[in-house]
Structure 1
């Protein structure tokens, strides 16, 4: 016995750069994900898992007339014979094929709990049963007639179809979605009647444009209905390029309860929106006061959807209420269109509507020709046998004698009547009692019918025009079998840029914004007449008291030079202590709040730093969209003051740490959106303590150490130019506020 000594590396080590090794393996993984998992085939609209489920159920003879079988049995057949993945993923795909709210034309007839539109999952596969639907039979028609190519299964024990014959354009009829490596697909469902009408147009006018097709297929047709509010131009562009989107709204109506009372009844919700989550979302909007026009929501659904939306006030217009909810909730969604598919060669491509329909028609022509050739071969074989029988009937007595008396009847028949071996075997296998006169007539009739069929098939396979005509007839038969009215209504286009902000739907109510010294903010209804009655947490006190309206935006100035924007309608109720301001904005821990003002469109603010610089800023430029606010001042902010408009403020008074005061015209300050500003007062040391804006006719005021307000009748003695040093202020002057 020879003993082979293994090499130190075992003979299995390949040296190659790490980058190349990773690149090659990741590429193989990406291609496998794209072609074998995520993207559907443009010809039958299936991913491999769905195609294998359909074929396995066909092999199990689970046709619509048969009894349903346990889903566990089907999943086992698919997993054991065709799909080398987990049973959970196969069952999930099977369940989706049976859900009438997920598939426009369900392909599996499910018996048992297959989930619902609320988002509840299906029962375990051991409890549910299934079989094919008539629509699925149309997709499989011809699978046993050599209509498509087959390939070995993953274990080489059997064969599976590369693609299904697809009697209707399933890709567009039921849609598809998936995410691969570096690419994704999202195809909405459509009405099969409209798709077949579009196919007829392409058969009659191959040069028809996408615009011609969109006249027949105006948009997607979702199984859950709804109202499409996407414009014609947008839909046309999406169907032309294969990329775009469609906005879908819930269908609703107003129910009059008498005496001016009404409520909204939602009967259809957007595709792929779970009803339970939608109700929860609407309830959260009410609780968080983000939908101020909505009073209550409840679910009265049985088999059909019925959501009740009650307004907060009967004076609200139903259209205004729904527009606000469309903006704030999933009562309106946008379904993306990305028709990324595998073409007939298995190459990923983004196709438009016309390309998808043309690829389907080309596939149907291939299927038609292959089925015709399959039938031709069988008709020719049968005719060949019938020709032998015809010879028998012309020489019946001699044939019987040869069969009875000859030692080798087969060879004798072949030699005597010039038969083929196949014909001789067939004659010898035929019972003599069948060779009666009546059988001769039957054979002649069958021979004539098959001859006519063969001529028709040969004419069909040799004429492209006849092939397209035959495809048109097949599609018309499918149309009659699957026709159903459109569910998604094509509504008027809604201009997204014209959407009114949610704040426009907020009732305008007077409030008082209360911000404590420690940063707790709340809003009390109406006016606070006596601030001393306000209650705060232990050790806290009043910081700012700002009159406003629920429709206002609040501008919050911080010492780090940033200004934050908060919606007054989002503030907590004034009954409690409120909530921390830092939970609403990204305020630095070291920064302090300088001032809070209610935004007034068109107004201006004077912004000043401790270093003694400042400028005037338009309030419209200070609004921030993010929690992080907007950096306005370069430096440490000291003041953020509203420039009075009634009466118009025209002078600025400043006072420094050296107790010197200076007054100069407001016009000397530049107007800018952000920056450092210009010097307000010149200091040898120290900086700015306070600043005020006043009207010359009314004159300024200042506050002494005890907080008492004092007039300043001789203020003009301190009048000078901006950036001057100023002069000593009146006795006791420390601040203006």
Structure 2
């Protein structure tokens, strides 16, 4: 019988608190996500997946002059050799590198369907082809000259670069975005010509400030154009701190039509906004009557964007119409700026504009020195070989004799002419025919040219000033190769408050709001003289009849304690049965409607619960911007009554009645409130307000209205138990 003894000291069993174990493992996962997936490198602006795609294409020799290859082939090379993740994620990254509406300077030349600005997806990778662009070549120029460090791939079968040489500041040129664990990055694209000009300014004057750089780089330059309306001060602050944002608007123009009419044509949409979804959103605004100035929208785009917007009336000001749409739709977006990157040591840092450009320049200097050292080594080797060829030329016949006749020609050559082993091997590896054809001038010209190059390289590596000058020359050449006009216009900050609100253009007309018991709402023009003539669906009846104007906001109080806001101009016409209120607000199925009122600025409401609690609420604080309304009361709502008197009268389920002064109630925006009337059992059944100078009225069991001349006998303090009311009292009016 074999006895298994436990391994010494527990072996792979680690005894530690669960909290520490989870913290350590989660930290390792977080660091892996930050450094290997989400954050770009400040030097070349790439995350690992993009760097691996471009390097794999470089290894496949898919340069701009070569024929394109299937994207499936490229994805397979990347996945099999460098990126141990799914093919879908690799292909998505490759597609984005090829989209001219996503990349300011596309790095992949895609052939086939690579998606469009409407949000349509690219074709499958088996149908599309790709190769590198000229910009990609500039980013990888010198990568085979020991200009950057390499590391083993995930399976130790090959090597991959840790960073690309980066011939231009790609991080800021194409931007980047990503979400890691506990941090994120969002860097907008810029114009590469402006970025290189800023780099040249830093080379001339390293003490150049961010404010001076912002004069050269006034703001982001998005591939889809648009108009940035954030303002110089805000953009400068973002460049100083590395955090901020920029408001980006669609570019539009006013096109005149016949008879004094006009239409608005949108030619550029904001960055990362899908045109098709934008048009759907505008159409939904028309359908839901949320854009009173907007008449119609249609897409007339071909290769260029052309979205046509018709105003509701030709009397509407175009600027006011567009300002209202900027607020209501993605015709204006705010692009966040969070320049969180990995520095040269792989440490996450939030860097400003100057720090990013300086990090790029420092990287270019390191690349230049490494390339120079690599070239020096090879030039010295060639010069050494040329010195051997010089000797061969002077003694060509003897050398040929030794090669042909001696058993150990290498040793004889070394001993006879004082050659090194390298020189002797080179001569022996050269064909006799080539040795015989050696020309003195060819050797001397090459020797002279290489000697001059060696001296130049040695001078370059020993002089920082010459290095920076060389970097400036390379950047100037890159600028000529990539320069393109700015697409995004940098405008002054727009003060939206200076524009007339869209509601001001709604015609003020008297209407009557009709809400049925089953929740169908509509509006008829004018006043309803005889409610009995109103028609409803079978089994339905009148619930609320509210006089209002088309410019009013309706306050709809529900039994679950929420108050919703509905624009009277958005209600269906009274020709039909209307539409369900639940389509306009997020009203729970179990909740009923307690009150419907036309909002009066400055007015107040008495809010009361079935449990007998209440308070006074300012109407202005009850207006809600969202469909979900505002939670006003903590409890079941019994009544929401406009405050028009100075006394409150309540009646409980026990038929006891209490009257007290309204100023005993607190004023608050939301909550439970204070006790209105005390009950041993049951709760509140009705509540009303009245003016003490006239007294209250009540309704008996037969529905007849009655005066209450001796109401003061029931006057007391709030939260009292009250006393039995007049015979037949059921509710108040």
Scaled by the length of structure 2, the TM-score of the pair is: 0.88
Residue aligning to 2:39: 39
Q: Within 2, Cα distance between the matches of 1:160 and 1:681?
A: 80
> Deviation string for 1:465-520 (max 9, x for gaps)?
11011000000000000000011111221357878776556554433211223443
- Would the alpha carbon gap of residues 194 and 273 (structure 1) be closer, same or farther in structure 2, given more than 3 Å must change? same
SS for the counterpart of 1:138 is helix
Partner of 2:167: 167
Change (3 A) 1:179 1:416: same
**Distance (whole Å) between structure 2 residues aligned to residue 114 and residue 227 of structure 1:** 26
What is residue 328 of structure 2 aligned with on the other side? 328
Shift of 1:173: 0.8
Q: Distance in 1 between matches of 2:613 and 2:19?
A: 57
Q: 1:268 offset after TM fit, Å?
A: 0.6
Shift in CA distance, 7/297, structure 1 to aligned 2, threshold 3 Å: farther
Label 1:275 to 1:520 Cα distance change in 2 as closer, same or farther (>3 A): same
Cα distance in 2, alignment partners of residues 406 and 308 from structure 1: 90
Change (3 A) 1:158 1:708: same
Q: How does 1:196-275 map to 2 (within 5 A)?
A: 196-275=196-275
Question: 1:302 Cα deviation (Å)?
Answer: 0.8
690, 701, 704: which one aligns with 1:693: 690
Residue in structure 1 matched with residue 138 of structure 2 by the alignment: 138
- Conservation of the 8 A alpha-carbon contact between 1:511 and 1:548: yes
* Larger displacement relative to structure 2 (385-394 or 212-221): 385-394
Q: Are the counterparts in 2 of residues 654 and 688 from structure 1 also a CA contact under 8 Å?
A: no
1:641 corresponds to: 642
The verdict on how the C-alpha distance between 1:608 and 1:367 changes in structure 2, with shifts beyond 3 A counting, is closer
Further displaced range: 62-71 or 22-31: 22-31
Q: Residue by residue, what CA displacement relative to the aligned partner does 1:75-99 show, whole Å, maximum 9, x if unpaired? A: 2222222222222222221111111
Inter-CA distance 479–709: structure 2 relative to 1 (3 Å threshold): same
Query: In the alignment, is residue 16 of structure 1 matched against residue 15 of structure 2?
Result: yes
- Deviation larger for 301-310 or 87-96: 87-96
SS of residue matched to 2:376:
helix
- Whether the 8 Å CA contact 2:632–2:669 is kept in 1: the answer is no
How many residues were matched structurally? 725
Q: 1:45·1:169 contact (CA, 8 Å) conserved in 2?
A: yes
**Where do 5+ consecutive residues of structure 1 fail to align?**
644-648
Aligned match of 2:382: 382
What secondary structure does 2:439 align onto?
Answer: helix
Report the Cα offset of residue 734 of structure 1.
6.8
1:628 Cα shift? 5.1
Identify if the C-alpha distance between structure 1 residues 468 and 687 changes in structure 2 by more than 3 Å, giving closer, same or farther: closer
Unaligned runs of 5+ residues in structure 2 are none
Q: CA deviation at 1:108?
A: 0.9
Q: Match of 2:516?
A: 516
CA distance in 1, matches of 2:614, 2:20: 60
**Residue aligning to 1:723:** 716
Q: Partner of 2:371 in structure 1?
A: 371
* Mean Cα deviation higher: 230-239 or 661-670: 661-670
Q: 1:360-410, CA deviations, whole angstroms, 9 ceiling, x for partnerless residues?
A: 111111110011011101111111111122233344455455455655443
CA gap of 1:505–1:31, structure 2 versus 1, over 3 A, is farther
Corresponding residue for residue 353 of structure 2: 353
Instruction: Name the residue aligned to 1:392.
Output: 392
Between the aligned partners of 2:664 and 2:23, the Cα distance in structure 1 is 65
d(CA) in 2 for partners of 1:682, 1:78: 77
Indicate the residue corresponding to 1:302 in structure 2: 302
Aligned to 2:119: 119
- 1:185 and 1:736 map into 2 onto residues whose CA distance is 62
On the 8 A contact 1:562/1:633 being kept in 2, the answer is no
Distance change >3 Å, CA 4–CA 25, structure 1 → 2: farther
Residue 472 (structure 2) pairs with residue 479 (structure 1): no
Distance 1:443 1:727, change over 3 A: closer
**Equivalent-residue separation in structure 2 for 1:414 and 1:683 (angstroms):** 121
- CA, structure 1 residues 390+637, in 2 after alignment: closer, same or farther (shift >3 Å)? same
Partner of 1:62: 62
Distance 1:15 1:434, change over 3 A: closer
Seen in structure 2, the aligned counterparts of structure 1 residues 121 and 507 have a Cα distance that, compared at 3 Å, is farther
Aligned partners of 2:640, 2:176: CA distance in 1, in Å?
Answer: 58
Q: Which secondary structure does the structure 1 equivalent of 2:214 belong to?
A: helix
Give the deviation of 1:252 after TM superposition: 0.8
Q: CA deviation at 1:703?
A: 6.2
1:507 and 1:213 map into 2 onto residues whose CA distance is: 50
Give a deviation string over 1:586-637, Cα, whole Å, max 9, x none: 6677765443211111234455678988765543244345635343598964
Contact persistence 2:114–2:123 (CA under 8 A): yes
Partner of 1:567: 567
**Residues 97-139 of structure 1: CA deviation (Å, up to 9, x unaligned):** 1111111111111111111111111112221111111111101
Deviation at 1:185, TM superposition (A): 1.8
SS at match of 1:259: helix
Aligned-residue offset at 1:708: 6.3
Residue in 2 aligned with 1:176?
A: 176
Q: How far 1:29 moved relative to its partner?
A: 2.7
Is the partner of 1:252 in helix, strand or coil? strand
How far residue 325 of structure 1 moved from its aligned partner, in angstroms, is: 1.4
What is the CA–CA distance in structure 2 between the aligned matches of 1:61 and 1:586, rounded to whole Å?
58
- Taking the aligned partners of 1:547 and 1:199, their CA distance within structure 2 comes to 67
Listed one character per residue, the Cα deviations across residues 692-733 of structure 1 (whole Å, up to 9, x for unaligned) are: 43595x9987767665678x6xx8876789538999999998
CA distance in 1, matches of 2:138, 2:452: 27
Tell me: CA distance 1:449–1:616, structure 2 relative to 1, closer, same or farther (3 Å): closer
Range 591-600 or range 59-68, more displaced: 591-600
Q: For residues 313 and 567 of structure 1, what CA distance do their matches in structure 2 show?
A: 20
Provide the residue aligned with 1:193 in structure 2. 193
Range that drifts further, 508-517 or 307-316: 508-517
Question: What does 1:299-698 align with in structure 2 at a 5 Å threshold?
Answer: 299-396=299-396, 398-400=398-400, 402-403=402-403, 406-430=406-430, 439-495=439-495, 503=503, 506-558=506-558, 563-581=563-581, 593-606=593-606, 617-625=617-625, 627=628, 629-631=630-632, 637-638=638-639, 640-643=641-644, 652=647, 654=649, 676=673, 691-694=688-691
In structure 2, the residue matched to 1:646 is: none
What's the CA shift string for 1:292-347, capped at 9, x where partnerless? Answer: 22222111111111111112222221111111111111111122222222221222
- Quote the Cα distance in structure 2 between the aligned partners of 1:603 and 1:349: 53
